[in-house]
Amino acid sequence: MRLKDDNKKDAIFEATIQLINEVGYENVSMSKIGRKAGVSPSTIYVYFENKEDMLKKVYLESKMKFAWGMIRGIRNEDSVRQVAFQLVKNVLDYVQENESYFLFTEQFADSPLMRDLDMSEINKIFGPIYEIVERSQKEGILKQLPPELLFAFGYYPVTQFAKGKLRLDVSFSQMDIESLQQMFWDAIKV
Amino acid sequence: MRLKDDNKKDAIFEATIQLINEVGYENVSMSKIGRKAGVSPSTIYVYFENKEDMLKKVYLESKMKFAWGMIRGIRNEDSVRQVAFQLVKNVLDYVQENESYFLFTEQFADSPLMRDLDMSEINKIFGPIYEIVERSQKEGILKQLPPELLFAFGYYPVTQFAKGKLRLDVSFSQMDIESLQQMFWDAIKV
Amino acid sequence: MRLKDDNKKDAIFEATIQLINEVGYENVSMSKIGRKAGVSPSTIYVYFENKEDMLKKVYLESKMKFAWGMIRGIRNEDSVRQVAFQLVKNVLDYVQENESYFLFTEQFADSPLMRDLDMSEINKIFGPIYEIVERSQKEGILKQLPPELLFAFGYYPVTQFAKGKLRLDVSFSQMDIESLQQMFWDAIKV
Amino acid sequence: MRLKDDNKKDAIFEATIQLINEVGYENVSMSKIGRKAGVSPSTIYVYFENKEDMLKKVYLESKMKFAWGMIRGIRNEDSVRQVAFQLVKNVLDYVQENESYFLFTEQFADSPLMRDLDMSEINKIFGPIYEIVERSQKEGILKQLPPELLFAFGYYPVTQFAKGKLRLDVSFSQMDIESLQQMFWDAIKV
DNA sequence: AATGAATGAGAATTCATTCAT
DNA sequence: GATGAATGAATTCTCATTCAT
């Protein structure tokens, strides 16, 4: 009996992400993924129930990776201003270092396929940040608004800006980073 | 010889948008679109070169509609603060009044299909706004940053927030609107 | 616009029956049927919903043909003995003249696929026979048993006997026919 | 080295029959059979050459079982009338007590898969019956016809009748049994 | 212009069988 | 002997597009 080979699963993950970024979801077939991953298309069905199951799992893993990237280096005792600046920096770093993972998730963000996924595991990762926000709101440093609204200004403009740069194949300047950090901070601080 | 019938073209546009929102892009076929539009699938090829051509045209038209919605009621003589507030309001109004058009464009925003589209016609619509921004930067009211960066804070957080609400099928409160307006303004003003 | 071509439908019917007799149900694929019928496999889907739908329709049509063959030449004023003899003769004639249709239906008689088919249309064809049976039972000529039980002795031994002969590729002698008729009659008469 | 395990072989037999009755031949795969039998699909290949070989062996074994069931309790010194009545009774009893075996064989009776099987072993079981028939024909009790023709009236109407009852999930009444016995007897006796 | 029939190409998936342990 | 992983070959079915009218 052969043992299940984790390399194969990883190769399928990687091939899926690369291919979808290269040719778009609508042009990705199981046999193309298999070919790129170096396995038979039917082997994919040893590791996943079907195409949808596979895509969802790749998506969740990518999101999880992103979440860990976002909170990297943030400590509970940091000032909320520091945290805000760090978040923006982390997002930009992650996007740049994990371009293909990032673009893959963006392409599925609005797909009906990814509705109703259980994101609770991922959201838990942001627990510490929520605590800092709450504390800072009590201290009167942050606007008294739902945290989601505050996050929105640190996440969406940053990722969309980054996406534009990736498409043009240019990297971010130090000034870009500082501008985004400052604007985020101005948006959420009292 | 009958003339090409604009009603039919419109029916095809509308059917495409509705269908894609209902069942997702991957489940939309030319014959389903034809059926919903009340025409034969082959009739679609009288009006469009092929499926891709059609989707691109529907996408561009939707984006155009959105652009007009965004600058609605904005006049050159308005203060930039007024303009900023109006933009946020316009986005939210448009999204709410044109849900299916909006969701359709969002679903394709990151699709490789829509890469390399000529958006210059659409960008022209924002000409007056660019002028106001430039003027305000000279007057020292707005941060001295690329306009795209400024816009990013008035567009992405707002649309993503709106999308979340649409998914939950709830509308925006007056406080939601004011919060988004104020945060946008705080982010871009000096 | 091309018109639907009844020849194509017939060709598909015929090809299905021939193929299933030649290689068995488990080895018949839509593409083999298409090839034999001289059409593309996808053309079959213009005429039928799917494989199951097609098989059911071919089955029902074959059964209908058989039913008409069974009552051929039987008139209400015939004596029940005459009718019984005629039925046996008709079955044998039909089987011999429509070997492929007959063998096709036999192969599906016990298939789960053909459960729950609406046979009412077909059963109606036997209405006149039922009347004769009823009449004869009142007259004390036939055994007082459910008609299905009576029919069973005129149908199953005859078809199964015929099937055996077909397999050996021999035809029925006059004596075979007369024996089956007499045995049927002895079984059901009082 | 372990020995081939008859329990496993039996489990595979049983699983095959149950599964085919439950979901139909077209939906039965080697791995489903393995799962139901509690063995790996590849284990089946230890006991059988391939799927076809396995099905044929299961079929032959089932037929053998049926044959033994049919001659149960019949002794050479019984009168032929007794024998005829007993045969009908035996068939009905067997069908009722071994529903899944019986339905399994019926489903394959006309399948090309089961053509060209060597049934001589099974036919030998009926030797004693043939002797009784021959004797009775000499004594002028039975019609002077090929035994197969005589058997046909004791076997096919009975099994088909029984199958109809099984489908409706009802059992046979004493009157059903007696009717079938009497009709069989009337059909074959002089 | 309009259309329903027709189809080649390709999709996801299944499966009997073999492989490696 | 026993097994789960692996796969080539095949299956059903869909679909964008073209054809013939």
Residue C3, CA: closest nucleotide via C1'? E5
Identify whether B107 is part of a domain. yes
Do residues B34 and B102 share a domain? Answer: no
Residue A132 has φ and ψ, to the nearest 5°, of -60, -40
Domain count, chain D: 2
Question: At CB < 8 Å, which residues of chain D contact C?
Answer: 23-26, 103, 106-107, 109-113, 143, 145, 148-149, 152-153, 156-157, 160-161, 163-164, 176, 179-180, 183-184, 186-189
Per-residue pLDDT at A159: 97
What digits encode the pLDDT tens for the residues A15-74? Answer: 999 999 999 888 999 999 999 999 999 999 999 999 999 999 999 999 999 999 999 999
What digits encode the pLDDT tens for the residues C113-148? Answer: 888 899 999 999 999 999 999 999 999 999 999 999
Q: Does the beta-carbon distance from A157 to B160 stay under 8 Å?
A: no
Nearest residue (CA) to C1' of E12: A30
| Nearest-angstrom CA–CA distance, A21 and A100 | 7
Domain span holding position A149: 61-188
Residue A42, CA: closest nucleotide via C1'? F7
Question: Of the candidates C23, C110, C182, which has its C-beta nearest D112's C-beta?
Answer: C23
- Amino acid (1-letter code) at residue B113: L
Chain D's closest residue to C184, CA to CA, is D187
What digits encode the pLDDT tens for the residues C124-133? Answer: 999 999 999 9
Strand F contacts in D 8-67 (CB under 7 A):
8, 39-43, 45-47
- Amino acid (1-letter code) at residue C101: Y
Residue D56 has pLDDT above 90, yes or no: yes
Per-residue pLDDT at B3: 53
When pLDDT is averaged across residues A124-153 and rounded to a whole number, the result is: 95
Residue D2 has pLDDT above 70, yes or no: no
For residue D144, list chain C residues with Cβ-Cβ distance below 8 A: none
Copy the structure tokens of residue A24.
């778009």
Do residues C87 and C37 share a domain? Answer: no
Nearest residue (CA) to C1' of F21: C1
Q: Are C69 and C125 in contact (CB under 8 A)?
A: no
Distance from CA of B26 to the nearest CA of A (A): 7
| Residue C95 CA to its chain's centroid (Å) | 8
Per-residue pLDDT at B1: 41
Identify whether A56 is part of a domain. no
Do residues B103 and B32 share a domain? Answer: no
Chains meeting D at 3+ CB pairs closer than 8 A?
A: C
Q: Does the beta-carbon distance from A113 to B24 stay under 8 Å?
A: yes
Per-residue pLDDT at A1: 66
Per-residue pLDDT at C5: 73
On strand F, nucleotides with any atom < 7 Å from a protein CB are 1-21
Q: Are C60 and C16 in contact (CB under 8 A)?
A: no
Q: Does the beta-carbon distance from D110 to C109 stay under 8 Å?
A: yes
Distance from CA of C121 to the nearest CA of D (A): 19
Q: How many CA atoms lie within 13 A of C119 on its CB side?
A: 13
Per-residue pLDDT at D4: 63
Copy the structure tokens of residue D60.
């032959």
SS3 of C115, please?
coil
Per-residue pLDDT at A145: 96
Distance from CA of D162 to the nearest CA of C (A): 11
B50 touches strand E (CB under 7 A): no
A40 touches strand F (CB under 7 A): yes
Identify whether C85 is part of a domain. yes
C45 touches strand E (CB under 7 A): yes
The whole-chain average pLDDT of chain B stands at 93
Identify whether A65 is part of a domain. yes
Do residues C42 and C66 share a domain? Answer: no
Question: Of the candidates A160, A161, A186, which has its C-beta nearest B186's C-beta?
Answer: A186
Do residues D184 and D143 share a domain? Answer: yes
**d(CA C186, C1' E8) / Å:** 61
Per-residue pLDDT at B103: 94
Residue B101 has pLDDT above 90, yes or no: yes
Residue B49, CA: closest nucleotide via C1'? F17
Identify whether B38 is part of a domain. yes
pLDDT band at B18 (very low <50, low <70, confident <90, very high): very high
pLDDT band at D26 (very low <50, low <70, confident <90, very high): confident
**d(CA A19, C1' E7) / Å:** 29
Distance from CA of A2 to the nearest CA of B (A): 36
What digits encode the pLDDT tens for the residues A66-116? Answer: 999 999 999 989 999 999 999 999 999 999 999 999 999 998 888 888 888
Sign of CA dihedral A171, A176, A180, A181: positive
Residue D51, CA: closest nucleotide via C1'? E16
Q: Are D180 and D159 in contact (CB under 8 A)?
A: no
Do residues A7 and A67 share a domain? Answer: no
| Nearest-angstrom CA–CA distance, B147 and C79 | 101
Q: Does the beta-carbon distance from C152 to D143 stay under 8 Å?
A: no
Do residues D41 and D66 share a domain? Answer: no
**d(CA C77, C1' F1) / Å:** 72
What digits encode the pLDDT tens for the residues C49-103? Answer: 999 999 999 999 999 999 999 999 999 899 999 999 999 999 999 999 999 999 9
Do residues B140 and B66 share a domain? Answer: yes
C51 touches strand F (CB under 7 A): yes
Q: How many CA atoms lie within 13 A of C99 on its CB side?
A: 14
For residue C26, list chain D residues with Cβ-Cβ distance below 8 A: 25-26, 111, 113
The alpha-helical segments, DSSP class H, found in D25-142 are: 30-37, 41-47, 51-70, 80-97, 99-108, 120-124, 127-138
Q: Does the beta-carbon distance from D153 to C157 stay under 8 Å?
A: yes
Question: At CB < 8 Å, which residues of chain C contact D?
Answer: 23-26, 103, 106-107, 109-113, 143, 145, 148-149, 152-153, 156-157, 160-161, 163-164, 176, 179-180, 182-184, 186-189
Do residues D116 and D183 share a domain? Answer: yes
Per-residue pLDDT at A110: 82
Do residues A32 and A92 share a domain? Answer: no
Per-residue pLDDT at D1: 41
C28 touches strand F (CB under 7 A): yes
Nearest residue (CA) to C1' of E11: A29
Q: Among C85, C104, C109, which residue's Cα sits nearest to residue C158?
A: C85
When pLDDT is averaged across residues B113-136 and rounded to a whole number, the result is: 93
Q: Which long-range contacts (CB under 8 A, 24 or more apart) does D164-170 make?
A: D164/C148, D166/D95, D166/D96, D166/D99, D166/D102, D166/D103
Chain D's closest residue to C158, CA to CA, is D152
Identify whether D123 is part of a domain. yes
Identify whether C136 is part of a domain. yes
Distance from CA of B2 to the nearest CA of A (A): 36
Do residues D82 and D130 share a domain? Answer: yes
Do residues D21 and D110 share a domain? Answer: no
CATH of the domain at A23: 1.10.10.60
Through-space distance between the first and last CA atoms of chain A, rounded to whole angstroms: 64
| Nearest-angstrom CA–CA distance, C181 and C185 | 6
CATH of the domain at B154: 1.10.357.10
